[in-house]
Structure 1
Amino acid sequence: MDGGHLNGSVQTNGGSGQLSDLSEGEAGDVLAPPAPDEGNATHLERRVGLFSGVALIVGTMIGSGIFVSPKGVLERTGSVGMCLVVWMGCGVLSTLGALAYAELGTVIPSSGAEYVYLLVGLGNLPAFVFSWVCSFVLKPSMLAIICLSFAEYLVEAFVEECEPPAQVVTLVGVLTIGGITFINCFSVTLATKVQNVFTAAKLIAIAIIVVGGMYSLAEGNTQYLRQGFEHTTSSVSDVATAFYSGLWAYDGWNNLNYVTEEIKNPSRNLPLAIIIGLPLVTACYLLVNISYLAVMSPIELLQSDAVAVTFGNRILGVMAWLMPLAVTMSTFGAANGTCFTSGRLCYAAARQGHLVDILSYVHVRRLTPSPALIFNAIIAIAMIVAGDIGSLIDFFSFTVWIFYGMAMAALIVMRRTKPDAPRPYKVPIVIPWLVLFMSIYLVVGPIIDAPQIEYLYALGFVLAGPLVYIPFVHYKWTPAFVGKTTLFFQKLLEVVPTSYDD
């Protein structure tokens, strides 16, 4: 790569920084990613193997939730038995969704997950709305929430007998986002190694909880589990929101699809990583919840703000400090995995002209999508500093399952519109239909039974997408300063497009 291309002679996706609309035929072309000439164009390399793929799935799914507050499912279901059923149901639903995504990821071997699936299956507007909502709200808010959880546990370890100072927690959260973003901008290999190490650490922590719980059960402490389905709720809304709580803990099952172009042998390793990772997480969550109930009563579990810490204090004695350490390491690993995948969404959307071109550029030497990663970090930091991200959790699952359902619809449509497309992995058609119906239930059920203002906010932001799409993408209106701004950041960040003309 010669330095001359940083001086303004780069050919961008949509011209000089403009957003460009795609025809139906062009949208179909993303069935395969761009294939640059070897040694000529800068592009993302395939550096994610099977083990790293499993670590990415497990590492992003298992964050702080299972260690801190699994009480949400128990509180909304009302009984121990129904709580475990919901945890199992969330695992099954996530696995079915991930299996459908495995087909989507092998038939469309491009990074971006839902974005490219909606683009090919349903067209430009649905894909743009997804990238709009996820790039500006869902992905940054997830990173912000996880990093704040990490900061709270880290600061709490150095503060005795008082609440950790809010300003210090905010500062640590901001620094955490900055540090993780630097790791991911510096090297894909380093980011995957960090993910592998922290995933191993959190699995060790889960093993400690499970062994402790099984030991307690062996001593005859089964009285809380024997309560079964007593006091189970009869509310449709309560069951749906219980699924929301569980699915928040399971979220991340689709993250490997965001980096399809960086997976070694994706037609084999993508489905295999999903088949290994999802059942592993489901088993971990069930065993951890059973272990908690072997040591604590349902009332004690509901009253605890950090269930794993309470568990450790009860059963680990002088080694109780392992639990806060485990939560901190688990949360950091989840934040790293979230950062790794979030940047690829912006990268994929910008490459197709649905976001500004600079977000589709990669570093000339490190081959990382650093502009997209930095963009995601800036929004996450703004959310932390603003201090008003708590309500985002309430409608996160509501919003994201709209798009999961649309991805299932895209798969169903592509079975008809692209019947001859190569499908190295193919799921029974009943699976996407089942996940689609469940997504409709999860979206419509709470609105009918117990409407909340957060749902209106979420729908409002989704519906705002077309208002942005029409002038900036469909009619290709570009402010005059965009081209100069793109060139400035291109030089500043030392980035180039993933394909260009010599």
Structure 2
Amino acid sequence: MCQDGLRRMATVTMDAETEKLSLKREIGLIGAVSLIAGSMIGSGIFMCPQSVLSNVGSPGASLVIWACCGLLAIMGSLCFAELGTVIQESGGEYVYILRTSGPFLAFMLIFNSVLLKGPAGVAGVALSFAQYAVAPFYLDCAPPVRVVKCVAAAAIILLATVNCLNVRWSISVQIVFTLAKVLSLVGIVIGGVVMLIKGHTDNFEGSFANTTVGISPIGIAFYQGLWAYGGWNNLNSVTEELKRPEVNLPRALLIAVPMVTVLYLLVNVSYLTVLTPSEMMSTSTVAVTWGNKVLGSWGWTMSVAAALSAFGCLNGKFFSGGRVCFVAAREGHMPGILAMAHVHRLTPSPALIFTTTISLLVLIPGDFQSIVNYLGFSRWFFYAITMISGLLYLKIKKPELPRPYRVPILLPILVLVAAVFLVLAPIIDDPQIEYLYVTAFMMSGVLVYVPCIHYKLCPGVLEKLTVFMQILLEVVPADKNL
């Protein structure tokens, strides 16, 4: 346990703004709910239902997977709500591990988050946005890969620009697109209800027939489903920009995550009402296929709805992901230029530019399904560490810390068990060399930490580059002159 981290954590708990000056608190409850729901509702509900179904083999089992994924997201969000009210700093699981376990584990997390998890998430959502955005122009064939990736790159650059220019603009984009995507999902639910009323229940007969039972297929199905729920912890990454975090953080989580869970279950019921299992598993754009059968000539509107949904999700990932990189640089785990903010706009533009660049590089070789599987593997590895070294440690060793919101100790234990299962499931039942590559990359952070962070052997040229970039981008250190 890092004693300096504990002392600092106690100070931050008492008064977050006396430790260091934060970015402006611009996010209220509506913005917070929009950030969570908007980050969650994105590409997953339009790209993953067919993958979940193909892995578990039956409609009934797929609905069970979606319900369990939602329950896991709710439990995880409740655990993060307590962590976020005890340690009221931006950075999410990175700062929680830093304050409780010290810099080494925290650096390993941020190394993977900045270079793997965050960019892969952005690239995956951008690809799904592009897939649906260009679908109406390629009705009789699959769109060219180059076209899809160019559109995805354009979306990444556009949203990076918006987030660099103004915090309120990015929050406004999030609120508008969250409303649009919720309405789109409600439309799919209503369409499914109408079809059920008309007697379309054949696909639910023998719902659990042909169910695939196995550790690996169930684990992969969870990866696909949990991709759709990804973003439930995004608000914890921007705590310092949240108004009254001790109140609004748990409140926003309790509103947004259950709402999304119910919507996802109803949307999947609607899909299964209209489409046979074979039809679902044979399409890469399930919402478009559903729209063509229910809406006829207006089926193209589902492409628009899915694209808008992914676009809003992408904005949420930029907003929170840039802040995590910003906090890590402020703590000395990334180059100093990334801990600076624009002198007038008060946005962490260097961190956003950096994450945008890495995301564009990941986009070049990436494909959606691989990104989802390998991202899920690394993501839940660090969630497990957060539960052990973060919440469970604080509950057992530091019960005296003020807790505006608390959860029973059983909850983080259950999340930990689920996280361990998700990490080990694909390796034990069906080991693949790609998971070894991902693990090797995750562990390679040690090679950077020892010389650059522990021994501080960074070359002096980095300081000159920082000064040059500071002048070019008109930024200053975040703990000064803001």
What TM-score does the superposition give when structure 2 sets the normalisation length?
0.95
**Residues 360-406 of structure 1: per-residue CA shift (max 9 Å, x gap):** 11111111111111100000111223456763322111110011111
406 and 187 in structure 1: CA distance in 2 versus 1, 3 angstrom threshold? same
**Displacement after TM superposition at 1:418 (Å):** 2.2
124 and 27 in structure 1: CA distance in 2 versus 1, 3 angstrom threshold? farther
Matched, 1:169 2:148: yes
Matched, 1:385 2:364: yes
**Residues 304-348 of structure 1: per-residue CA shift (max 9 Å, x gap):** 221111111111123322201101100100110011110011011
Q: Pick from 440, 444, 457 the counterpart of residue 420 of structure 2.
A: 440
> What is the one-letter code of the residue matched to 1:135?
V
Matched, 1:45 2:24: yes
**Residues 173-199 of structure 1: per-residue CA shift (max 9 Å, x gap):** 222111100100111110010001111
Q: Pick from 458, 475, 482 the counterpart of residue 438 of structure 2.
A: 458
Alignment correspondent of 1:497: 477
* 2-structure distance, mates of 1:295, 1:274: 32
2:47, 2:128 within 8 Å by CA — same for their partners in 1?
Answer: no
Larger mean Cα displacement after TM superposition, 42-51 or 354-363: 42-51
2:340, 2:475 within 8 Å by CA — same for their partners in 1?
Answer: yes
Q: How many residues align?
A: 479
**Residues 84-124 of structure 1: per-residue CA shift (max 9 Å, x gap):** 11100000011000000000000000000010111122221
Q: Pick from 98, 108, 126 the counterpart of residue 147 of structure 1.
A: 126
1:43, 1:367 within 8 Å by CA — same for their partners in 2?
Answer: no
State the secondary structure of the residue aligned to 1:252.
coil
Matched, 1:366 2:345: yes
**RMSD of aligned alpha carbons:** 2.0
494 and 389 in structure 1: CA distance in 2 versus 1, 3 angstrom threshold? farther
**Residues 142-161 of structure 1: per-residue CA shift (max 9 Å, x gap):** 11121122223223333453
Alignment of 1:413-492 (within 5 A): 413-492=393-472
316 and 83 in structure 1: CA distance in 2 versus 1, 3 angstrom threshold? same
Larger mean Cα displacement after TM superposition, 384-393 or 186-195: 384-393
> What is the one-letter code of the residue matched to 2:431?
P
* 2-structure distance, mates of 1:336, 1:383: 17
> What is the one-letter code of the residue matched to 1:258?
S
Q: Pick from 93, 102, 115 the counterpart of residue 81 of structure 2.
A: 102
* 2-structure distance, mates of 1:469, 1:448: 30
Larger mean Cα displacement after TM superposition, 55-64 or 90-99: 55-64
Alignment of 1:210-229 (within 5 A): 210-229=189-208
* 1-structure distance, mates of 2:135, 2:56: 31
81 and 496 in structure 1: CA distance in 2 versus 1, 3 angstrom threshold? same
Alignment correspondent of 1:192: 171
**Displacement after TM superposition at 1:169 (Å):** 2.6
Alignment correspondent of 2:312: 333
2:38, 2:316 within 8 Å by CA — same for their partners in 1?
Answer: yes
Alignment correspondent of 1:125: 104
1:27, 1:124 within 8 Å by CA — same for their partners in 2?
Answer: no
**Displacement after TM superposition at 1:141 (Å):** 1.3
198 and 357 in structure 1: CA distance in 2 versus 1, 3 angstrom threshold? same
Q: Pick from 395, 414, 431 the counterpart of residue 374 of structure 2.
A: 395
**Displacement after TM superposition at 1:415 (Å):** 1.6
* 2-structure distance, mates of 1:414, 1:311: 47
198 and 306 in structure 1: CA distance in 2 versus 1, 3 angstrom threshold? same
State the secondary structure of the residue aligned to 1:232.
coil
State the secondary structure of the residue aligned to 1:81.
helix
> What is the one-letter code of the residue matched to 1:87?
W
* 2-structure distance, mates of 1:219, 1:242: 31
* 1-structure distance, mates of 2:116, 2:375: 9
Alignment correspondent of 1:261: 240
* 2-structure distance, mates of 1:242, 1:122: 32
2:28, 2:248 within 8 Å by CA — same for their partners in 1?
Answer: yes
1:105, 1:260 within 8 Å by CA — same for their partners in 2?
Answer: yes
Gaps of 5+ in 1: 1-21
Alignment correspondent of 1:75: 54
> What is the one-letter code of the residue matched to 1:59?
G
**Residues 32-70 of structure 1: per-residue CA shift (max 9 Å, x gap):** 2896689xx974011111111111111111112212341
Matched, 1:289 2:263: no
**Residues 251-298 of structure 1: per-residue CA shift (max 9 Å, x gap):** 111111100111111111110111011111110111011111111111
1:42, 1:496 within 8 Å by CA — same for their partners in 2?
Answer: no
1:383, 1:389 within 8 Å by CA — same for their partners in 2?
Answer: no
2:224, 2:372 within 8 Å by CA — same for their partners in 1?
Answer: no
State the secondary structure of the residue aligned to 1:362.
strand
Matched, 1:92 2:52: no
Alignment correspondent of 2:255: 276
Q: Pick from 168, 183, 202 the counterpart of residue 181 of structure 2.
A: 202
Alignment of 1:223-242 (within 5 A): 223-242=202-221
State the secondary structure of the residue aligned to 2:329.
helix
**Displacement after TM superposition at 1:231 (Å):** 1.7
Gaps of 5+ in 2: none
> What is the one-letter code of the residue matched to 2:384?
G
2:128, 2:310 within 8 Å by CA — same for their partners in 1?
Answer: yes
Larger mean Cα displacement after TM superposition, 356-365 or 63-72: 63-72
278 and 388 in structure 1: CA distance in 2 versus 1, 3 angstrom threshold? closer
Larger mean Cα displacement after TM superposition, 24-33 or 462-471: 24-33
State the secondary structure of the residue aligned to 2:177.
helix
2:180, 2:308 within 8 Å by CA — same for their partners in 1?
Answer: yes
1:394, 1:454 within 8 Å by CA — same for their partners in 2?
Answer: no
State the secondary structure of the residue aligned to 2:201.
coil
Larger mean Cα displacement after TM superposition, 129-138 or 457-466: 457-466
